[in-house]
Amino acid sequence: MSVSPVVPHHIAIVMDGNGRWATRRFLPRLAGHKQGVDSLRRCARACAERGVAVLTVFAFSSENWNRPADEVSGLMELLALALAREVPQLKKDGVRLFFVGERAGLSPKVRDGLAQAEAATAENTRLVLNVCFNYGGRWDIAQAAAALAARGEPITEASLHGAMALAHVPDPDLVIRTGGEMRISNFLLWQVAYSELYFSDRLWPDFDESALDEAIAVYSARERRFGKTSEQIASAHPDTVAG
C-alpha cells in the first residue's frame, strides 16, 4: 500500500533561472521574468491544492539593484502590472499576500500597490503567499536587531525571531532553489536553520506541478532530527516505521 507523502507546512523558493530561460530562446531577459510570473501563479495554485499552508518566494533581492538599469525598471513595471492582473484572482482563490522586504527605496507607486494588494487579500486563509521583494537575509537580521534596540528590548534569540520580517509564519520546512545553483544567496538566513534544502536543475519558468511533487516526495523521505538522534525521533513517534 502506497503512503501519501508528508506535505511541508511552509515551502520557500528561490525562483532562479528566468533570465537564462529567455536567453536560451533568444528573447529579452524580461520575457523570462514574465514567464516566471506565470510559473509562480501555477505553483501557488498547486501548493494550495496539495495542502501547503505557506509559500514564500524570493522575487527581488536587495542585490538585484546592481543589475542593468533597464532590467530593474522593467521588473518594477512588471510588478505593478502583475499586481493589477493577479490580485483579484488571488483574492478569489483564498490567497493572502504579504510583501516582505525594505520598502523605503521603492517608488510611491510600487509601495502603494504592495499595500493595496495586502489589504485586498487580508481576509484570506487558504494559503499565505510571502513575496520577498527588495529583501535580503542580512537586512532582515539587521532590521530586527535595530527595532529591538530602538525599543530598548534585550536582543535574544527569541526576541530577534519575533522581530523578523517573517515572524507571522513558522520557519520553512522545505527550501527549493531552481536553476541548478546550490547556494542560499542571502535568502531567509535566520529562518532556514533547520529547513530541508532541495536544488532543482529546472529553470524557474519550467518548474511545474510535477517538479513540485518531486521536491515534496524527496522532502517526505527525509528524517528531520532538529539536533536529536534518529533513536530519539523514533521513540517520540513510535507509529512511524523507518524506511
Q: Consult the annotation and say whether 20 binds a ligand.
A: yes
Alpha carbon distance 136, 58 (integer Å): 9
Q: Consult the annotation and say whether 176 binds a ligand.
A: no
Q: Consult the annotation and say whether 118 binds a ligand.
A: no
- Phi first, then psi, for residue 141 (nearest 5°) are -65, -45
H or E element in which residue 60 lies: strand 54-61
Active-site residue flag, 134: no
Q: Consult the annotation and say whether 204 binds a ligand.
A: no
What CA dihedral angle connects 238, 52, 197 and 23, to 10 degrees? 160
Q: Consult the annotation and say whether 126 binds a ligand.
A: no
Active-site residue flag, 16: yes
- Phi first, then psi, for residue 177 (nearest 5°) are -125, 125
Q: Which of 64, 93, 124, 206 is catalytic?
A: 64
Q: Which of 16, 140, 171, 173 is catalytic?
A: 16
Alpha carbon distance 111, 104 (integer Å): 8
Q: Consult the annotation and say whether 4 binds a ligand.
A: no
Q: What is the DSSP string of 68-92?
A: -HHHHHHHHHHHHHHHHHHHHHHHH
Q: Consult the annotation and say whether 16 binds a ligand.
A: yes
Q: Consult the annotation and say whether 224 binds a ligand.
A: no
Q: Consult the annotation and say whether 151 binds a ligand.
A: no
Q: Which amino acid is at 98?
A: F
Per the annotation, binding residues for Mg(2+) are 16, 196
Binding residues are 16-21, 29, 33, 61-63, 65, 67, 177, 183-185, 196
Write out the binding residues for substrate.
Answer: 17-21, 29, 33, 61-63, 65, 67, 177, 183-185
Positions marked catalytic:
16, 64
